[in-house]
A and B are shown apart, each in its own frame.
Chain A
C-alpha cells in the first residue's frame, strides 16, 4: 500500500497527465495532490497481528465509507499503511517515517501501551496528532494524542459496585499479567472495592504469556474468595479460563470478572470455557441496536469473512476516523494543530452509542457496559450505564471530574504528588 516519494511523484504525475487527457474516464476520482493523506500504523505481522490487523481493517473501512460519501472537505482520504511488526522499536521507526518523511499530520496507530510509549516522542517532538484506539491504563496526558479507548474508571467504576451489589460478591481475588496495565487496573479496583464495602483477599500476577495456571487456579480455589477479578491479557487468558474449568471451578459460584477478555479471546479459547463469566467494556459485538448490527454486517463484508468478530478497540479504531473527519471539517484545516484544537468536544454516534472527546484531556467519554458470556461466544449485555462516563486517566491517584489532573494546560504534577 505504501509508496516511497519517488514512486508517488511519478504515479501522481502520470495520473495528473491522464486526468487532463481523459477527464471523462476518471469521473470524480481524486488523485495525488487532491487527496488528504493519513497514516495508519498497526502490526500486520508478529504475535499481535491477529488483533492489530482487525484495527487496520476497521480504520480502512471508516476511510472507505468516508470516501464513498464524498470525503473530507471535498477531498478523498488516502491511508498510508505501515507495519509495526509487533515490535515497539519498529513502531518508533515507522512512526518517524510517517510523520517526518511523509509529513503526515495525523496517524491512527498503536494497540499496546508499549508501542504507544515508543511512538510518543515522535509525535510530541514533531507536533503531530496520534489517534489511539485502545483501552489503556491511564496515567498519561499527552497533548498530541487523542485517546478513544476506555481508561480504568470507564471499565471499573460501574463494574466493581455492580459485582458487589448485583452479584452479591464481596471477596475479590485480583489476578493479572505482570506489567503496567494490570497493575494500574488493580490499583483502581482496590480503591473501588474498599469504597463499596468489599475486600480483596489477594492481588497476584503472572508473567505475560504464562500458560501454566495450575498453581494459580489452585490458589484461587483455596483463597476463600467469591469472585475473581481478572486483568490477564493475551494468550494467557485462554490457558487461565481452561484451567479454571478443568480444576472444577464454575462461573456460577465463582465468576471470573474480566477487563480484557474480549470477543477475540472467547473465540480462541472455545466459548464453553467462558460461559457465565463477565467482562466490562464500553463496546460488545452483541450490542442490540440497528446501528451496531449494521456496523458488524458492514465490517464482515469489508473483510470478506462472515464470521469476523468486532470488539472494543476495533470499534474505537472505526469511530476515531470520523472524529478526526469532524475536527478537520470544523477547522477547515488538516494540520495537526488545527485537528487537535478542534477535536475536543466532538461527538459522534458510534456503533456502540454516543462518544465525545473531552476538551479537557482529549480522552473520550464512553458508555461502560457489562456483558455475560454465552455459549455462542457472544456477550449478553447485563448492565449498561445510562450515559457516557467522563474519562479520568489519573483516577488511581485521586483524580475526579471536579478535580482534574490532566487539563488543557497539560498534567498538573503538583496534584499527582499530593
Chain B
C-alpha cells in the first residue's frame, strides 16, 4: 500500500514539475504556451549535452538548464508572445508554431544535419543521461522498497513550489506580478512596468520547465517529441487547479497523481489515464474556473 501511495505521490510531483511553469505563464499571464513542453525537452537535452561534453552531473545540469530555457523563454516572449497579450487563441497557435520549430531544430541538430554533420546528443535519436550512484537504487520504508530517484524528484518539486510561492508572495516582483494578474491595465496605471514583469515571469516559467526537463532525463527517454504529451498533462493540472492559483496547481497535481497511481494499481495505466481525464472533465463542469479561482483578467 505504501508503495502505491508513493507512486501516486511521485506521479503527482512529476505533474507538478511541468505544471509549475505553466501555472505562471498560463495562469498568471494568460498565455497558452504550447512551447512549454519543448522547454522541458530543451532542459532534458541540456542535461544530455552537458554530461556528454562537460562531464556535468544531473545536479550541476539543473542551473544550466534553468538559464538556457529562461533565456530561450525570454527570447520567445520578446519576439512572439509580447505582441499577443490578451489574444488567448493566437498565443496558442503562435507558441505551437514555436514548439514545432524548436523540435525540428533539435531533430536537425540546429541545421548541421543539412551539411551531413552529426552531433552526438542531438538529432532524431533517443538519448539518455546516467544517474549518479547515490540517486539510483532504493531505500526501505516500513517494509517497502522506495526509489531514491523518485523521492528526490518529490523533494525538488516541493522545493521549487516553495521557491515559486516565495517569489510570488514575498517579493516585490511577485506582488507586481499578482497585480498584473488581477488587472493589467490598473497595474500599469499604478506605475508597474508590465512589459518587464511579464517578460521576467515568462522567463522564470520557462526556466522551471528546464529544471523539470533535467529531472525527466534521469528516468524517461530523451527525444525531440518528449515534451508534447507533457504539455497536455500540465494543462490538465492548471485547468483543474484553477487558472492563476499556485495552491490549486499543487493540489490538483497531487490529486491527479494519486488517482492515476491508485487506478493503475487496481486495474491498469490505460484505464487510469481515462479516469484522470474523466475527473478533470467533471471538475470543469462542476467548477468551470477550477478548484481554486478568483476573479482576474
Q: Which residues of A contact B (CB under 8 A)?
A: 45-47, 49-50, 178, 204-207, 209-212, 214-216, 218-219, 221-222, 235-236, 238-239, 242-243, 245-248, 265, 268-270, 272
Contact = CB atoms under 8 A, between A and B. Distances in A.
B287 interface: no
A216 B11 CA distance: 12
Contact of B136 (A209, A221, A246, A269): A246
Interface in B217-273: 219-221, 223, 225-226, 229, 260-261, 264-265, 268-270, 272-273
A47 to B, nearest CB: 6
B150 A204 contact: no
Contacts of A50: 124-126
A270 B3 contact: no
B171 interface: no
10 contacts: A47-B124, A206-B268, A206-B269, A214-B11, A215-B7, A218-B4, A219-B265, A222-B3, A239-B220, A248-B147
A56 to B, nearest CB: 14
Contacts of A214: 7, 10-11, 150, 261
Contacts of B138: 246-248
Contacts of A219: 264-265
Main secondary structure of the interface of A (DSSP, over half): helix
Interface residues of B, number: 37
Interface stretch (B127-135, B160-168, B178-186, B188-196): B127-135
B215 interface: no
B117 to A, nearest CB: 12
Contact of A243 (B4, B127, B219): B219
A211 B41 CA distance: 14
A209 B272 CA distance: 16
Given A49-B124, A246-B136, A216 B130 contact: no
B262 to A, nearest CB: 9
Contacts of A248: 137-138, 145, 147
Contact of B268 (A205, A221, A236, A270): A205
Contacts of B3: 218, 221-222
A235 B224 CA distance: 12
Contact of A211 (B7, B150, B220): B220
B41 to A, nearest CB: 12
Contacts of A47: 124, 223, 225
A211 B265 contact: no
Contacts of B229: 209, 211
- By Cβ-Cβ distance, the 3 closest A-B pairs, closest first, are A248-B138, A215-B264, A268-B126
A50 B122 CA distance: 12
A326 B91 CA distance: 59
B264 A270 contact: no
Of the listed residues B3, B127, B261, the one surrounded by the most CB atoms of chain A closer than 10 A to its CB is B3
A149 to B, nearest CB: 22
B61 interface: no
A267 B285 CA distance: 47
Contacts of B130: 270, 272
A211 B273 contact: no
Interface in B12-39: 14
Given A207-B269, A238-B126, A246-B148, 18 more contacts: A47-B225, A50-B126, A204-B268, A209-B229, A211-B226, A214-B150, A215-B269, A215-B272, A218-B3, A219-B264, A221-B145, A235-B126, A239-B219, A246-B137, A247-B147, A268-B126, A269-B126, A270-B128
A221 B265 CA distance: 11
Nearest to A216: B269
Interface in B136-155: 136-138, 145, 147-150
A269 B218 CA distance: 11
A50 B113 CA distance: 13
Contact of B145 (A178, A247, A268): A247
B125 A268 contact: yes
A269 B7 CA distance: 22
Contacts of B10: 214
Nearest to A240: B221
B223 A235 contact: yes
A205 B147 contact: no
Contacts of A218: 3-4, 7, 265
A205 B273 CA distance: 13
Nearest to A243: B219
Nearest to A265: B126
Nearest to A242: B219
A178 B270 contact: yes
B136 A245 contact: yes
Contacts of B128: 238, 242, 268-270
A398 B226 CA distance: 41
B261 A215 contact: yes
Among A178, A216, A246, the one with the most B-chain Cβ atoms within 10 Å of its Cβ is A246
Nearest to A247: B147
Contacts of B260: 215
Contacts of B273: 207
Contacts of B223: 47, 235
B270 A206 contact: yes
Contacts of A268: 125-128, 221
B297 to A, nearest CB: 34
Contacts of B272: 215
Contacts of B124: 45-47, 49-50
A216 B272 CA distance: 12
Contact of B269 (A210, A221, A272): A210
Interface string B34-56: 00000000000000000000000
Contacts of B220: 211-212, 238-239, 242
A375 to B, nearest CB: 13
Contacts of A221: 3, 145
A270 B125 CA distance: 13
A212 B14 contact: yes
Interface string B265-295: 1001110110000000000000000000000
A17 to B, nearest CB: 32
